[in-house]
Chains A and B, each alone.
Chain A
């Protein structure tokens, strides 16, 4: 817990700083739910209800002279506002029925990374009906299925809705930012991918030694003693797919399956002994595949879970540290947005989810999700101070300022196994910088 160094016969001891942690993962836990055979219409209803209430209150300020009507109440050439969920009809979206259809015209044999097509159309849906959206204001490449919007326009002769203006839910409200007098750092890392052939154990060991304060001189140790938490945002382990071919497992295969997680446990024990640690599951981790992913079981980490500084968290993960609100995912929501819409940078996708007030609008359409009946847990009620996304291609960050003085630091955490980069965030001023670890002995 402390970094000690002997200098001129004097023992310099740096005490690690502490921060008050509160986990807000309650709404992402599924254990209280009972599956009764319900379908996804329930979660869409909960989402529509929430977003509609929100948008109704915003529309009165946005277009006070227009009335809000339902989709079935549309009349031709009458300006009005409609509120609903967007559905994007995509030609190239993979559909199970394509495998059975005789003609294979639009679907290429090689699945593209991105399923956009110039013919994609947007449709607005509420509980009772849907209407096609027209107009140059709405560019289908910027939207995905599942967003709640309010649209101002009028019905055309063909029965479509010509959009003149649109309103998104906007940034959620934020509680006032606390003021910290001293530097306190949170370290984010993701995509360790232990068990893959790109994992370099020396590189991660370097990271662990650095964070626990076993490296460097006084200055480095002073800095690392200010690290109050480490958050591992998914994909810590990768199960070699060659083992999962449906055959019975030989003892050697069983060893191949369990070795990566044992290795992670050894490394996490070293980390947990020194600093409070949050671990989130990712797409390749041994957790359920649909969102919200449940916490990795403690039996996977026999060594690390014996420490009370070890916290296994859900994905998405929400917590409070010294009054600062953190919200983050292991990347599935942003990666799915990348497949069905386009933007300049990944940060733009992250910003869009914040403006739409929904972490994963494409769930359950293209992103697996639990069929909740009473609530939609991905709805962002309060604006976080830090919004992080793991397992991205590169490190990117921006500090956003909302219309009501909200301040959010968006962070895209790169995959550690590929880049060797971890992210360090200073709570005092929400500044971010990258920690580069290189174990390349040649360069």
Chain B
């Protein structure tokens, strides 16, 4: 989970200027006033950052693109709830002509690589 990031979000020490107690100053963080703690924008959903899937930065090569196309291909069935490799193996056993290069790509990845899970893993 995002426990390691909490310390980055919430400043652990109060700034010397403000005399308000820490709880109310956190509440006022949305409004811009001097000496309050900055929280991340509401649009940055914690889930994206917690799982380390920085989409824009990770977009190197078309290996990723191919995997995403594989996820989206409805011929191989729904992608949510299965790891990509399991879905590829299922497509193979059902005789759906899944491209072998995706299987090779998935098998070459290490165990904790986020590319092994489908696009929506952890987000739905």
A53: shortest Cβ distance to chain B, in Å?
A: 8
Question: Of all chain B residues, which has the CB nearest A48?
Answer: B77
Contact with A along B60-101 (1 / 0, CB 8 A): 000000000000001101101111001000100110100000
With contacts A374-B90, A374-B93 taken as known, whether A42 is within 8 angstroms of B82 at the C-beta atoms is yes
A382 contacts the other chain (CB 8 A): no
A199 contacts the other chain (CB 8 A): no
Instruction: Tell me whether A49 and B77 are in contact (CB under 8 A).
Output: yes
Instruction: Tell me whether A373 and B74 are in contact (CB under 8 A).
Output: no
B79: shortest Cβ distance to chain A, in Å?
A: 10
Q: Which residues of B are found within 8 Å of A45, using beta-carbon distances?
A: 77-78
A77 contacts the other chain (CB 8 A): no
How many chain B residues touch A (CB < 8 A): the figure is 13
Q: Which residues of A are found within 8 Å of B81, using beta-carbon distances?
A: 36-39, 41-42, 371, 373
Per DSSP, are chain A's interface residues mostly helix, strand or loop, or mixed? loop
B31: shortest Cβ distance to chain A, in Å?
A: 36
Q: Which residues of B are found within 8 Å of A49, using beta-carbon distances?
A: 77, 94, 96
Instruction: Tell me whether A373 and B86 are in contact (CB under 8 A).
Output: yes
CA distance A46 to B77 in the complex (A): 8
Instruction: Tell me whether B78 and A42 are in contact (CB under 8 A).
Output: yes
- Report the contact-size class of chain A (Cβ under 8 Å from the partner): 10 to 19
Instruction: Tell me whether B74 and A42 are in contact (CB under 8 A).
Output: no
CA distance A436 to B82 in the complex (A): 52
A38: shortest Cβ distance to chain B, in Å?
A: 3
Question: Of all chain B residues, which has the CB nearest A373?
Answer: B82
Instruction: Tell me whether B78 and A128 are in contact (CB under 8 A).
Output: no
A381 contacts the other chain (CB 8 A): no
CA distance A131 to B90 in the complex (A): 28
Q: Which residues of B are found within 8 Å of A127, using beta-carbon distances?
A: 74-75, 77
Q: Which residues of A are found within 8 Å of B94, using beta-carbon distances?
A: 46, 49
Q: Which of B83, B94, B96 has the most CB of A within 10 A?
A: B94
CA distance A127 to B75 in the complex (A): 8
Q: Which residues of A are found within 8 Å of B77, using beta-carbon distances?
A: 41-42, 45-46, 49, 127
Q: Which residues of A are found within 8 Å of B82, using beta-carbon distances?
A: 36, 38, 42, 373
CB-contacts of A169-193 with B (<8 A): none
Q: Which residues of B are found within 8 Å of A39, using beta-carbon distances?
A: 78, 80-81
Q: Which residues of B are found within 8 Å of A37, using beta-carbon distances?
A: 81
CA distance A37 to B90 in the complex (A): 17
B121: shortest Cβ distance to chain A, in Å?
A: 9
Question: Of all chain B residues, which has the CB nearest A127?
Answer: B74
Instruction: Tell me whether B80 and A41 are in contact (CB under 8 A).
Output: yes
B73: shortest Cβ distance to chain A, in Å?
A: 10
Q: Which residues of B are found within 8 Å of A374, using beta-carbon distances?
A: 90, 93
CA distance A45 to B83 in the complex (A): 16
Question: Of all chain B residues, which has the CB nearest A49?
Answer: B94
A376: shortest Cβ distance to chain B, in Å?
A: 12
Instruction: Tell me whether A38 and B74 are in contact (CB under 8 A).
Output: no
Q: Which residues of B are found within 8 Å of A46, using beta-carbon distances?
A: 77, 94
Contact with B along A24-43 (1 / 0, CB 8 A): 00000000000011110110
A50: shortest Cβ distance to chain B, in Å?
A: 9
CA distance A329 to B33 in the complex (A): 69
Q: Which residues of B are found within 8 Å of A38, using beta-carbon distances?
A: 80-82
Question: Of all chain A residues, which has the CB nearest B90?
Answer: A374
CA distance A373 to B90 in the complex (A): 9
Q: Which residues of A are found within 8 Å of B75, using beta-carbon distances?
A: 127
Contact with A along B24-62 (1 / 0, CB 8 A): 000000000000000000000000000000000000000
Q: Which residues of A are found within 8 Å of B83, using beta-carbon distances?
A: 36
B30: shortest Cβ distance to chain A, in Å?
A: 32
B81: shortest Cβ distance to chain A, in Å?
A: 3
Contact with B along A45-75 (1 / 0, CB 8 A): 1100100000000000000000000000000
A17: shortest Cβ distance to chain B, in Å?
A: 42
Question: Of all chain B residues, which has the CB nearest A126?
Answer: B74
Contact with B along A218-232 (1 / 0, CB 8 A): 000000000000000
Q: Supply 7 further A-B pairs (C-beta < 8 A) apart from A36-B83, A46-B94, A371-B81.
A: A38-B80, A39-B80, A41-B77, A45-B77, A45-B78, A49-B77, A373-B90
Nearest first, the 8 A-B pairs at minimum CB distance are A38-B81, A45-B77, A41-B78, A127-B74, A374-B90, A128-B74, A39-B81, A49-B94
- A residues lining the B interface (CB < 8 Å): 36-39, 41-42, 45-46, 49, 127-128, 371, 373-374
Pairs A–B under 8 Å by Cβ, sample size 18: A36-B81, A36-B82, A39-B78, A39-B81, A41-B77, A41-B78, A42-B77, A42-B78, A42-B82, A45-B77, A45-B78, A49-B96, A127-B75, A127-B77, A128-B74, A371-B81, A373-B82, A374-B90
